[in-house]
Structure 1
Amino acid sequence: MRIQYIALIFTMLTSIAFSQVKQSKGDVLFFEYSYNEAIKEYQKELREGALSNKQYLNLADAYFKTSDYKKSAEIYVNMFQKDTSMSKYHFNRMLQSLSYTSDLEGVKKYFEAKKPALSGELLENTGFNESLITSDTKDVSDYKIFNVSSNSAQADFSPTFYKDKILFSSDRPQKGKNIYEPSGEAYLDIYEAALNSQGDIVTPEAFKGIAESKFHQATPYYSKELDYIFYILSNSEDDYLQFSEKGKNALSIGMGNGRGSFKYVLRDLNTSFYYPFFEAKTGRLFFAANFEDSLGGTDIYYVYTNDGLIMSGPINLGPRINTPGNEIAPYIFENTLYFSSDIFYGLGGMDIYKSNLQEDNSFSLPINLGEGINSPKDDFGFIIKRSDNNGLIGYFSSNREGGKGNDDIYGFKVQENLGLKTLALKGMVVNLASNRGIANAQLRLLNKQGNVIKELTTDSEGRYRVEVPFEDTVTIEATKDRHSIFSVTYEAPELEEIQKRSLNMGIKFLDDLVEQKEGQPVIKLNKFYFTKGDSYITPEIAQELDKVVDVISRFPHLRLRIESHTDSRGGDSANLTLSQKRSNAINKYLIQNGVSQTNIIEVVGYGEERLTNNCKNGVFCLDILHNKNERSLIVVLNYQD
């Protein structure tokens, strides 16, 4: 893609400048997209005097546009070192330039320097995609990519499905079209072409389904639900371009049905709109534009519509999708948003990404579609659908090496698993006692070497969502302070399955398992009784002691004291011996069932030394009162630690 084909904002040669400042000749050439000439003029002006900071950045941009990344990087870095408050848009350009010149250490250095000013979403997106691109298991897609027959020596791009055909944009010359001076090519127009049985695009011809214009008409999207075509076009009237009071001729979005009906959908003489996409089920019209709230260059927005009538203001997709770079060409297929971005962490130029739409209308981490679909050059204008054999077929545009023209349309076929492979999990961390979500629980994903892949916390309702580069073996842990640890390891086949459903993880709160008795914290157990005069562990006692085993398995740091007590019936010495035997029996059972001896600090029998009531020797008491004194307790010695 050439940005001059996309960012088609025209400037009157006699007016605009920076605010009310008079433009230099270099400025005029720069805003005409005559970048090579602008470079020569700026260099001349530099020899004769100084350039403003804005002009220096224009010069860097001009070098960037002409692929002289070494010189653009030198200027961007110099400007950044003078003022680290450089706009995020130019900061992205700087990192792109450094990346193109293979100065990856420079990219890392300046990215770290700017980190405090960058959004959390950008930091997460960067780390995720950088690790994804370098992952050993990054790409599972078996793309079959081909250059379509309809490409010309000019720019051909932005395909869209149109009934059983394809529409696309091109600046190939045709009768009736003027020449767009900045590019030296014809104004953009829309073409239609047939699809043959192999998916190739053939027999292109000028599209007659919309009103003719001498100026730009491009990037169409056909809505079969409305039977209308959305497309961008130059603001014009009676064969003349219309300019704003600032001297701009911008691009609008219009819609037509080929039967004489046309109306502007989005129009502002000072703002250009690009790449319309209409989502019929929600009535949302997506597009790219550069408004004041843009997070960088061109951002993706949407408006709500009613049969094409705008019903809301533009809504920015936010920092999960939009970055300090340029985002364009939105396309939604099977609940996944595809778009292009020139953010610095891609493979180069514009890359195509995908992001899943969530239940709350948010977006998942953008995933780079990887080598093949993406290249070191510009890749954009992506569309996709199910083919007759239930695989996937799609098209995109690229100016990669080996094409026929400036931009070419490429087709691709793939069965499934489009793009780089990831592991995406969602669910809740819940309290096993109440089955309610636990807010701010900590989650960790570890690889088979035990290295942490990702750390995160649950939201206020205990929910989580995480996506990481795919690993063949992943251990998932969940915990919170004074809570137990959930830990389970999954292998590759299981990892494929758990992504299809919610993965809920249950943990226990220590305070739910411990209570205060006799002035000390003890593990909650239903009261149990040994057979009179015996220390045998009955099934009923075992059922309660298994709760202790479970607590220690969840809280292996706990240290315990086992203590048993008898009532006053019988001799003092005999009761002391019996209580010790009972504590010993409990200790033996716990050890045999997985509790470590290091967890048990004391094993004590107190006999009748610590009665809970007045039923001592020589005092008549009912059995129910004597039974209160017969008890065994599992005391937690480090409960507050």
Structure 2
Amino acid sequence: MNYKLYLTILFFLPFSLLGQQKKSKADDLFYAYQYEKAIAEYKSEMAKRSLSNLQLLNLADAYFQTGKFDDASKLYLDVNKNDTIMTVNQFNKLLQSLSKNSERERVKTFLRSKADKLSPELLENAEFNYSLLEIATDNSNTVIEGIGANSAQGDFSPTFYKDGLLFSSSRLQKSKSVYEPSGESYLDIYYGKLGADGELVDVRVFDKIPDSKFHKSTPYYSEKYASFYYILSNTENDELAYDDNGKNALAIGILTDSGKSSFLLKDLSTSFYYPFMDDTTGRLYFAANFDDSYGGTDLYYVYTNNGQIFSAPKNLGPRINSPGNEISPYIHNGSLYFSSDIFYGYGGMDIYKSNMLEGDAFTIPVNLGNGINTVADDFGFIIKEGADNNSLTGYFSSNRNGGKGGDDLYRFSLKNTPGLKTFTLKGKVVNLTNKVGLDKVSIKLLDREGEVLKETFSTVDGDYRIEVPWSSQITVQTSKDGYSQLSTTYSEDGMEDLQNKSFNMGLVKLEDLLTNKEDKTILKLDKFYFDKGKSIMNAQVETELNKVVDAVMHFPSLRMVIENHTDSRGSSAYNKKLSTDRANTIKNYLLQKGVSPNNIVDVVGFGEEKIKNNCTNGAYCLDFLHKQNERTLIVVVDK
């Protein structure tokens, strides 16, 4: 039994009810998963009458399930043109069909045409992973081998337990009935000890979890909570339980080491898959087909306490979940591993990795690459440190060519953490003056050579997020017309620090720094004075000049003229020299603080040439009136 058939369990209807609800023989065959026969019957019915769009989509799905991707894509496209009943999951199958026919460029064109209707996360994930697929994956240090204990039936969903592995299988056994859609046994949980070579020995049915005549699968054991979490068919009085529409779904059960078992998540209309308990946070992760799904099955979590659920399911969001199916969550060293059949993979179900950030945020899920992933279905990935702590080892499931059954268990060992490492920067850009978020700010990431790796723009609230493959050095640059620019470079250590927190940036609007005075555009400064008769720095002068330094740091192309004026007390020659000396003192201070000579166009000491009031030579004036004439202007001549 492969994962696709496993996912269709949620749609399983008793055949008596199917016969009552369906309108044609082809529909009955389709909903009984007899896809080849359904295709033949739909074609026969098409010769007699037109099929409804729903039936055409059923036929397209049947083509898809049987590998006839060219026929599937044509039908999906035809229905998509004429009707809006196509689900987002069928939209993913459409793009998968095109991808499987090596029409990746056509997929990209189709995505661009639908960009206004698709989530930005989906578009970014697709662009990022398409670029990865064009890079040859280095798997020279990865060893992948099939498990000798695999059977001719389906074996999947491995999980570590003590000195061995638990896994799910549809191996035939006397205590289990045959599950009609697969022709194999209802699923059960098995255990095998791990030998020194990573092989499984002494494989047998795992008898600690209560027996069931129906499905029991995908176990996970939590050391911290000393409990097993697993999937089982909904039953009542030891028989399958159906909802009002005749649907039998899957529930999550829990078994503690004390032997107490119970349903943990149960809904007759909703199926749950692949439970994983994160001991660090107390979150129980799983896949499910709730109404808020972004496509097929999505990944969720709930909080638990002493084996009880005490929060509503939380969807992991569009960065992780897609129009496809997401299953088998597994967390290791701050990274979420999961599988998805989203269209931008190698073909079927692929394994992805996403780093977990603060606030339920995730980095772009990256495909683990060729070798671990194939054109077949690859899923159920688990990983841990090797015995020597210098390597990593793990297991996953796949129905790739060369196996024994529908799905088989594979083991791997590798030297480095799988998947491309990425650098993610997120936060908010605000106006430093009023702390309001700024939209349409350009945020660029540059590499060591100054080449732009990626550019994004802040939202209307000033929020931004940008992600690129890891680099040994990153420069962050921001710009917006009329606002200051930022450019900061970080080494790898600095990049690691930035990854795990919000990186908020403040920009200054140039107009907020300027004012008009004496028919000139000048920098907005508080009035300051040199000591009487002196041209040396004092604390008041230094405080205001630091604002000039800050303005130039924000606006490196700013060009200015330094003007100094005195009052009329003293001789004209003395005042001329004093104001020139003061202007030069200002210039020298700015240069010492890092202002470029290119920013200072001219330095002018006017002395008493431009008195602002009647306090000219020989006139009696109070001191505060003389002070009005003593001033420094930083005149902006080029913004």
Aligned to 2:17, the other structure's residue is in SS state: coil
Q: What per-residue deviation string (whole Å, max 9, x for no partner) do you get for residues 47-104 of structure 1?
A: 2222111111111111111111111112112222323663221111000000000011
Residues 453-532 of structure 1 aligned to structure 2 (within 5 Å): 453-457=454-458, 466-480=466-480, 482-490=482-490, 495=495, 499=499, 510=510, 514=514, 520=520, 521-522=522-523, 524=525, 527=528, 529=530, 532=533
- Determine if the alignment matches structure 1 residue 3 to structure 2 residue 1: no
- Determine if the alignment matches structure 1 residue 190 to structure 2 residue 192: no
- In structure 2, distance between residues paired with 1:431 and 1:268: 49
Post-superposition shift, 1:318?
A: 2.4
Q: What per-residue deviation string (whole Å, max 9, x for no partner) do you get for residues 375-416 of structure 1?
A: 221111122233443343322111122323221112223344
Post-superposition shift, 1:554?
A: 2.8
Aligned to 1:91, the other structure's residue is in SS state: helix
Partner in structure 1 of residue 316 of structure 2: 317
Q: 1:166 to 1:531 in 2, by over 3 A?
A: same
Equivalent residues of 2:230, 2:253 under 8 A apart: yes
Residues 384-399 of structure 1 aligned to structure 2 (within 5 Å): 384-390=383-389, 391-399=391-399
- In structure 1, distance between residues paired with 2:580 and 2:227: 88
Aligned to 1:629, the other structure's residue is in SS state: coil
Letter of the 1:455 partner, please give it.
T
Partner in structure 1 of residue 421 of structure 2: 421
Aligned to 2:9, the other structure's residue is in SS state: coil
- Determine if the alignment matches structure 1 residue 53 to structure 2 residue 50: no
Residues 329-348 of structure 1 aligned to structure 2 (within 5 Å): 329-348=328-347
Residues 249-398 of structure 1 aligned to structure 2 (within 5 Å): 249-257=248-256, 261-390=260-389, 391-398=391-398
Aligned to 1:205, the other structure's residue is in SS state: strand
Post-superposition shift, 1:272?
A: 2.2
Equivalent residues of 2:444, 2:452 under 8 A apart: no
- In structure 2, distance between residues paired with 1:418 and 1:344: 21
Letter of the 2:564 partner, please give it.
S
Q: 1:569 to 1:495 in 2, by over 3 A?
A: same
Partner in structure 2 of residue 155 of structure 1: 154
- In structure 2, distance between residues paired with 1:417 and 1:260: 37
- In structure 1, distance between residues paired with 2:536 and 2:95: 70
Post-superposition shift, 1:193?
A: 0.5
Q: Give identity over the alignment, percent.
A: 50
Partner in structure 1 of residue 31 of structure 2: 31
Aligned to 1:476, the other structure's residue is in SS state: strand
Equivalent residues of 1:141, 1:418 under 8 A apart: no
Q: What per-residue deviation string (whole Å, max 9, x for no partner) do you get for residues 183-226 of structure 1?
A: 22222111100012333333211111122223221111222333
- In structure 2, distance between residues paired with 1:580 and 1:327: 73
Quick check: 226-235 or 505-514, which moved more? Answer: 505-514
- Determine if the alignment matches structure 1 residue 212 to structure 2 residue 214: no
Partner in structure 2 of residue 13 of structure 1: 15
Letter of the 1:262 partner, please give it.
S
Q: 1:285 to 1:512 in 2, by over 3 A?
A: same
Q: 1:269 to 1:515 in 2, by over 3 A?
A: same
Aligned length: 632
Q: 1:633 to 1:344 in 2, by over 3 A?
A: same
Q: What per-residue deviation string (whole Å, max 9, x for no partner) do you get for residues 581-601 of structure 1?
A: 765786688689876676556
Equivalent residues of 1:139, 1:420 under 8 A apart: no
Equivalent residues of 1:346, 1:368 under 8 A apart: yes
Q: 1:403 to 1:515 in 2, by over 3 A?
A: same
- In structure 2, distance between residues paired with 1:564 and 1:389: 73
Letter of the 2:263 partner, please give it.
Y
Q: What per-residue deviation string (whole Å, max 9, x for no partner) do you get for residues 338-375 of structure 1?
A: 22111111222111222333332333332322223222
Aligned to 2:160, the other structure's residue is in SS state: strand
Post-superposition shift, 1:495?
A: 4.7
Quick check: 505-514 or 99-108, which moved more? Answer: 505-514
RMSD between superposed Cα atoms in Å: 3.7
Equivalent residues of 1:140, 1:421 under 8 A apart: no
Q: What per-residue deviation string (whole Å, max 9, x for no partner) do you get for residues 283-320 of structure 1?
A: 43322222222221112223344433343443322222
- In structure 2, distance between residues paired with 1:548 and 1:141: 56
Partner in structure 2 of residue 450 of structure 1: 451
Aligned to 2:371, the other structure's residue is in SS state: coil
- In structure 2, distance between residues paired with 1:310 and 1:493: 39
Equivalent residues of 2:399, 2:406 under 8 A apart: yes
- In structure 2, distance between residues paired with 1:143 and 1:87: 38
Residues 49-88 of structure 1 aligned to structure 2 (within 5 Å): 49-83=49-83, 86-88=86-88
Quick check: 309-318 or 345-354, which moved more? Answer: 309-318
- In structure 2, distance between residues paired with 1:335 and 1:251: 29
- In structure 2, distance between residues paired with 1:319 and 1:594: 46
Q: 1:161 to 1:56 in 2, by over 3 A?
A: same
Letter of the 1:233 partner, please give it.
L
Q: 1:272 to 1:546 in 2, by over 3 A?
A: closer
Q: What per-residue deviation string (whole Å, max 9, x for no partner) do you get for residues 255-284 of structure 1?
A: 234775332223333332221223345443
Quick check: 603-612 or 97-106, which moved more? Answer: 603-612
- In structure 1, distance between residues paired with 2:95 and 2:185: 33
Q: What per-residue deviation string (whole Å, max 9, x for no partner) do you get for residues 133-183 of structure 1?
A: 4357x7699433222222122211001122222110111212222222222
Q: What per-residue deviation string (whole Å, max 9, x for no partner) do you get for residues 546-603 of structure 1?
A: 7645533431343423322222134446645765676578668868987667655665
- In structure 1, distance between residues paired with 2:579 and 2:483: 32
Q: 1:439 to 1:198 in 2, by over 3 A?
A: farther
Quick check: 541-550 or 264-273, which moved more? Answer: 541-550
Partner in structure 2 of residue 400 of structure 1: 400
- In structure 1, distance between residues paired with 2:50 and 2:431: 67
Letter of the 1:394 partner, please give it.
G
Letter of the 2:566 partner, please give it.
T
Aligned to 1:116, the other structure's residue is in SS state: helix
Partner in structure 2 of residue 174 of structure 1: 173
Q: 1:327 to 1:405 in 2, by over 3 A?
A: same
Aligned to 1:7, the other structure's residue is in SS state: helix
Equivalent residues of 2:338, 2:353 under 8 A apart: yes
- In structure 1, distance between residues paired with 2:600 and 2:93: 62
Equivalent residues of 2:529, 2:630 under 8 A apart: no
Partner in structure 1 of residue 633 of structure 2: 633
Equivalent residues of 1:253, 1:265 under 8 A apart: yes
Equivalent residues of 1:84, 1:114 under 8 A apart: no
Post-superposition shift, 1:479?
A: 4.3
Q: 1:523 to 1:247 in 2, by over 3 A?
A: closer
Q: 1:180 to 1:492 in 2, by over 3 A?
A: same
Equivalent residues of 1:336, 1:356 under 8 A apart: yes
Aligned to 1:364, the other structure's residue is in SS state: coil
Equivalent residues of 1:337, 1:356 under 8 A apart: yes
Q: 1:268 to 1:548 in 2, by over 3 A?
A: closer
Equivalent residues of 2:358, 2:500 under 8 A apart: no
TM-score (normalizing by structure 2): 0.87
